[in-house]
């Protein structure tokens, strides 16, 4: 009787745990982040714009919550995107404020992005638009947690890097030839359009970018409507050079307003799609901009893009999740893009990075909890000459100037050595009250100094990008971001040359796995199976008279176990056990083993059979495709 009682209690406990996990999975929202380029605080109707018409954004604000004091992590492109994607100040990760096609370093793939975090919890992930965190492997979106990428890899006023891989069927425009592109054609405002890791169009037709990004995004949402998904849509517009599709040409008399109205149309298309698929109450949508206006308006804020006055870093922002985020509400608490990773980790049952991040969970602000306040006593930015936002105060540890982007007409410049503004009462930052509040100045100066010292003492490295000596053309192997590979691999049908996307490959993250294969041949050589590259991954290959199972745990840490293999037919068993021990056995002979470790994150590169289509996991591996007959292969 007692035994039955205990068994019953155990069953109830297990049932409760299962139900709990089902509820968690069911409550996790889809996530869409719409990140506009160079749109200012005053470029949208819900913030008082009278030039461009933004009915979709205005309705989004009616149905969602407008954040009036929402900041980005930098007043220009790459630094701002770093902060959004990683929850870190870009200086902590040693990133430049702006990357260029001739930049050598990008975001380190060891850093955890929102896409990495959500991908690990089972989300399908796509980046559609401007990336600008590294345009070459291993810094492209497909190495940073995204299953697919489609877009322009940096700002649209830049140029092509001949190191980018050209697709076999690339579309060449403007009377150029492939030979001219390979020779290093360089012209400002002529940028590549990429899919996955290949250039599919050059120069990109910028008049169609907003429209094509929208269509690509809708296709992704529709294909994954029955599964959790994360769509990151960083628009190219409204960055210079401005361009719009035919439907939006000459609508307003100003090209910048035409471009803003097309972005508004795009937002409307995304929200309409979510509603038509009955996903609106299951999806969190964030709309904001990467920095202040370059061409448009940041009014009533002071200054524009490039400045750490509010006009450069305080953005038009709406969060929308019908039924969860209150409709028609305005949040006046300080928050920012840096908070999205930890907030989404909390909402989506994700795991926070082990390394330090700077963002905070702002769920309480999103859902409108009574009495919720900003988690940032001081929000400090080191960009440019630096600034601190604290409650109603905005502090600048430098003397006011009145030139360039910071200029205000008829301005009498303060002579005080620092600046302090009450940005609730003085939204335009016109009255420097530093002399009236020495205690506030002292407190915020100390906060700024402490922040700078802490960041400089704990900076993490960027990643050197791989730039081949000559232009690269796709060999025509299947690209892991094209087509629709099966959701599950049919191991009875796999063959040499097969490529499976990272999202559809075996999950090896922090877990034991095994590889079993049967090969045959007089002179066996080459890669049997591989996934990953110079960041993390594993590879099974034959070189000379040895079979090698190699596992890369990080850029600098790789482990190998080897065993002799002869010609003829051989059965290979390789794997990692739960303790991280690598093992390899040929034809039931003595098993070889070495200490290693579990792979801490899912490889971003595709799973390849009989070859490795991108960067090698192990630089000592044979670089050729498998020579011999692959009778069977399975990873489990």
Annotated catalytic residue 135: no
Annotated catalytic residue 11: no
Residue 398: is the preceding peptide bond cis (ω within 30°)?
Answer: no
Residues ≥6 apart with Cβ < 8 Å to 284: 29, 30, 31, 32, 319, 320, 321, 324, 325, 344, 347, 366
Reply yes or no on whether the pLDDT at 481 is more than 80: no
Three-state SS letters, 538-573: EEEEEECCEEEEEEECCCCCEEEEEEECCCEEEEEE
pLDDT tens-digit readout, 123-143: 999 999 999 999 999 999 999
| Phi, psi at 546, each rounded to 5° | -120, 140
Reply yes or no on whether the pLDDT at 554 is more than 90: no
Please determine, looking at this structure, whether the domain spanning 38-394 carries the CATH number 3.40.720.10.
yes
Query: What does the block give as tokens for 559?
Result: 């482990």
Instruction: Spot the catalytic one: 69, 74, 77, 108.
Output: 77
pLDDT tens-digit readout, 266-311: 999 999 999 999 999 999 999 999 999 999 999 999 999 999 999 9
CB 283 within 8 A of CB 233: no
Instruction: Give the pLDDT band (50/70/90) at residue 473.
Output: low
Q: Identify the CATH class of 488-635.
A: mainly beta
Query: What does the block give as tokens for 376?
Result: 């940032």
Query: What does the block give as tokens for 451?
Result: 């922040």
CB 590 within 8 A of CB 562: no
Instruction: Spot the catalytic one: 69, 132, 224, 376.
Output: 132
Residues ≥6 apart with Cβ < 8 Å to 364: 372
Distance of alpha carbon 247 from alpha carbon 252, whole angstroms: 12
CB 529 within 8 A of CB 497: no
**For position 620, what pLDDT does the model report?**
87
For residue 515, which of 486, 543, 494 has the smallest C-alpha distance? 494
Reply yes or no on whether the pLDDT at 479 is more than 70: no
**For position 238, what pLDDT does the model report?**
98
Single pTM value for the model: 0.82
Longest dimension (CA), the chain: 90
pLDDT tens-digit readout, 51-81: 999 999 999 999 999 999 999 999 999 999 9
Contacts of the segment 279-283: beta carbons below 8 A, 24+ positions apart: 279/30, 279/221, 279/225, 280/322, 281/321, 281/322, 281/323, 281/324, 282/29, 282/30, 283/29, 283/30, 283/31, 283/32, 283/321
Distance of alpha carbon 204 from alpha carbon 171, whole angstroms: 9
For residue 381, which of 292, 312, 295, 302 has the smallest C-alpha distance? 312
Query: What does the block give as tokens for 325?
Result: 């985020």
For residue 73, which of 462, 422, 376, 421 has the smallest C-alpha distance? 376
pLDDT tens-digit readout, 200-214: 999 999 999 999 999
Domain parsing of the chain, residue ranges: 38-394, 488-635
pLDDT tens-digit readout, 306-364: 999 999 999 999 999 999 999 999 999 999 999 999 999 999 999 999 999 999 999 99
């Amino acid at each position: 009787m007692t035994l039955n009682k205990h068994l019953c209690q155990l069953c109830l406990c297990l049932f409760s745990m299962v139900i709990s996990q089902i509820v968690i999975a069911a409550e996790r929202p889809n996530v869409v982040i719409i990140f506009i380029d160079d749109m200012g605080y005053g470029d949208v109707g819900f913030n008082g714009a009278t030039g461009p018409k933004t009915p979709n954004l205005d309705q989004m604000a009616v149905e969602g919550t407008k954040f009036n004091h929402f900041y980005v992590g930098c007043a220009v492109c790459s630094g701002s995107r770093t902060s959004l994607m990683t929850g870190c100040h870009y200086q902590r990760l040693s990133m430049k404020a702006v990357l260029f096609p001739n930049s050598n370093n990008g975001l380190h793939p060891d850093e955890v992005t929102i896409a990495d975090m959500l991908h690990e919890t089972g989300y399908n992930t796509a980046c559609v638009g401007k990336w600008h965190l590294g345009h070459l492997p291993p810094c492209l979106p497909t190495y940073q947690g995204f299953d697919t990428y489609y877009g322009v890899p940096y700002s649209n006023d830049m140029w092509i890097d001949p190191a980018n891989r050209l697709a076999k069927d690339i579309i060449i425009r403007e009377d150029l030839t492939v030979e001219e592109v390979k020779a290093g054609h360089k012209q400002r405002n002529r940028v590549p359009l990429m899919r996955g890791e290949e250039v599919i169009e050059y120069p990109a037709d910028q008049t169609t970018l907003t429209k094509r990004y929208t269509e690509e995004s809708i296709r992704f949402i529709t294909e994954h409507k029955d599964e959790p998904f994360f769509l990151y849509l960083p628009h190219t517009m409204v960055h210079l050079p401005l361009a719009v599709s035919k439907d939006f040409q000459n609508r307003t008399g100003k090209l910048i307003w035409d471009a803003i109205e097309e972005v508004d149309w795009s937002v409307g298309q995304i929200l309409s799609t979510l509603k038509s698929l009955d996903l609106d109450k299951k999806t969190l949508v964030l709309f904001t901009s990467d920095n202040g206006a370059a061409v448009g308006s940041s009014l009533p804020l002071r200054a524009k893009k490039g400045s750490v006055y509010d006009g450069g870093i305080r953005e038009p922002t709406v969060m929308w999740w019908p039924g969860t985020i209150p409709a028609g509400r305005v949040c006046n608490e300080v928050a920012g893009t840096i908070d999205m990773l930890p907030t989404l980790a909390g909402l989506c049952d994700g795991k926070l990075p082990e390394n330090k991040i700077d963002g905070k969970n702002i769920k309480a602000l999103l859902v409108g909890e009574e009495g919720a306040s900003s988690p940032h006593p001081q929000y400090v930015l080191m960009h440019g000459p630096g600034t601190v936002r604290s409650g109603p105060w905005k502090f600048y540890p430098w003397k006011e100037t009145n030139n360039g982007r910071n200029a205000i007409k008829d301005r009498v410049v303060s002579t005080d050595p620092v600046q302090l503004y009450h940005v609730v009462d003085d939204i335009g930052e016109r009255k420097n009250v530093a002399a009236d509040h020495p205690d506030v100045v002292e407190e915020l100066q100390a906060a700024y100094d402490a922040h700078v010292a802490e960041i400089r003492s704990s900076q993490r490295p960027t990643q050197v990008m791989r730039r081949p000596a000559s232009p690269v053309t796709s060999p025509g192997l299947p690209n892991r971001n094209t087509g629709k590979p099966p959701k599950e691999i049919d191991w009875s049908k796999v063959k040499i040359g097969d490529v499976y996307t990272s999202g559809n490959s075996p999950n090896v993250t922090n877990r034991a796995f095994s590889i079993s294969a049967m090969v045959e041949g007089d002179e066996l050589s080459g890669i049997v199976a591989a996934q990953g590259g110079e960041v993390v991954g594993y590879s099974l290959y034959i070189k000379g008279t040895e079979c090698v199972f190699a596992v890369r745990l990080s850029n600098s840490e790789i482990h190998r176990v080897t065993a002799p293999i002869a010609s003829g037919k051989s059965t290979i068993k390789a794997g990692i056990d739960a303790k991280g021990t690598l093992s390899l056995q040929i034809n039931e002979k003595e098993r070889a083993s070495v200490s290693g470790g579990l792979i801490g994150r899912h490889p971003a590169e595709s799973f390849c059979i009989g070859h490795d289509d991108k960067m090698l996991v192990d630089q000592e591996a044979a670089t050729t495709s498998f020579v011999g007959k692959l009778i069977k292969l399975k990873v489990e």
